[in-house]
Amino acid sequence: MIKAIVTDIEGTTSSIHFVHEVLFPYAAKHLPTFIRENRSIPAVDDALQEVARISKLATDDTEALITQLLQWIASDQKVTPLKALQGLVWEQGYRNGDYKAHIYPDALATLHKWHQQGLALYVYSSGSVYAQKLFFGFNEGGDLTTLFQGYFDTVTGPKREANSYQKIQQALDLPAEEILFLSDIVEELDAAAEAGMHTAWLQREGDMLQHPRHQCLDTFTDIALD
Ligand SMILES: CSCCC(=O)C(=O)COP(=O)(O)O
Ligand SMILES: [Mg+2]
């Protein structure tokens, strides 16, 4: 019996188009100025130190670090300090009313239904926890943050490694077989299944493919919880 559901965001609750055509370009446009003006903020400086460590650049070469970050955005690298900085930049856009985060109507309705049924809902995304809370706080469906009991990002671990799902299972304090993980990426679902979780593969676009281990669906509406 499923007691908790952990969901991915991009391609699962929400469109890839919104993330790639709205959020990523906004970050690419505003991140350079944001970093130049806010390097003294500890959260910004900590992230830049991590960028320097990963990319073997000098920590005081802010312009080189910015160039590295822009390359990571362009190639959709899920690098933890980039994700932390993106969240801080996206906050400006949400608060200015430049955009609201997308959610598929079926995901919105089903998340509300599961919440009312008493299921525990969580998010696991490559976007930082801070960015996830903004995403569901400034959302086309309203402020959805009260639906979720917790959030996980790549600080817990990479999404394609079973160990990350074991850590989430321990944090939820439930047997893995009582947890359902939702994603659009098979490698993430394989990792969750390896950790013992139930899995559902959301295929929002294109022909429906079948998979021996994962429920295969094009919307949240028919996800089975037994
Ligand atoms: C938290 S909203 C932005 C999503 C994002 O930055 C991203 O990389 C999406 O990754 P996901 O794990 O949700 O597919
Ligand atoms: Mg995804």
pLDDT digits (tens, 9 = 90+) for 186-224: 999 999 999 999 999 999 999 999 999 999 999 999 999
Atom of ligand 1 at shortest range from CA of 86: 6
Q: What is the pLDDT of residue 61?
A: 97
Would 192 be classed as within a structural domain? yes
Q: What is the mean pLDDT of the chain?
A: 97
Residues 45-73, mean pLDDT to the nearest whole number: 97
**Residues 6 or more apart from 38 whose CB is under 8 A from it?**
44, 88
Q: What is the pLDDT of residue 226?
A: 81
How far apart are the C-alpha atoms of 209 and 120, rounded to whole Å?
28
Last residue of a domain, one of 96, 131, 161: 96
Q: Give this prediction's pTM.
A: 0.96
For ligand 2, the distance from its centroid to the CA atom of residue 36, given in whole angstroms, is 31
Per-residue pLDDT at 48 exceeds 90: yes
| Sheet-wide strand order for 150-152 | 150-152, 120-124, 4-7, 179-183, 198-202, 215-217
CB 94 within 8 A of CB 100: yes
Closest CA to ligand 1's atom 5: 127
Pick from 74, 96, 118: which residue ends a domain? Answer: 96
Residue 41 predicted with pLDDT over 90: yes
Please check whether residues 11 and 42 belong to one and the same domain.
no
Enumerate the H helices of 97-199 as residue ranges.
Answer: 105-116, 129-137, 162-172, 186-194
Residue 15 Cβ < 6 Å to ligand 1: no
Measure 135 CA to ligand 1 centroid, in angstroms.
10
How far, in Å, is the centroid of ligand 1 from the Cα of 126?
5
- Per-residue model confidence as pLDDT tens digits over 69-81: 999 999 999 999 9
Q: Which atom of ligand 1 is nearest the CA belonging to 8?
A: 13
Answer yes or no: is the C-beta of 135 below 6 A from any ligand 1 atom: yes
Verify that 181 and 121 share a domain, yes or no.
yes
By alpha-carbon position, which residue is closest to atom 14 of ligand 1? 10
Both 71 and 127 in one domain: the answer is no
Query: Is the CB of 157 within 6 Å of ligand 1?
Result: no
Judge if the beta carbon of residue 23 lies within 6 A of ligand 1: yes
Query: Which residue, of 96, 117, 136, is where some domain finishes?
Result: 96
Is the distance from the beta carbon of residue 8 to the nearest atom of ligand 1 less than 6 Å?
yes
pLDDT above 70 coverage of the chain, percent = 100
Q: What is the DSSP letter of 1?
A: -
- Determine if ligand 1 sits within 6 Å of the CB of residue 126: yes
Same domain (yes/no): 83, 125? no
Same domain, 134 and 59: no
Residue 223 in any domain: the answer is no
Distance of CA 164 to the CA centre of its chain: 14
Residue 168 banded pLDDT, cuts 50, 70, 90: very high
ipTM of the complex: 0.96
9 CA: nearest ligand 1 atom: 13
Ligand 1 test: best mutation among 125, 152, 160, 165, most atoms within 8 Å of CB? Answer: 125
CATH for 112? 3.40.50.1000
Query: Domain containing 68: what range?
Result: 18-96
pLDDT digits (tens, 9 = 90+) for 96-139: 999 999 999 999 999 999 999 999 999 999 999 999 999 999 99
Q: Are residues 122 and 137 in the same domain?
A: yes
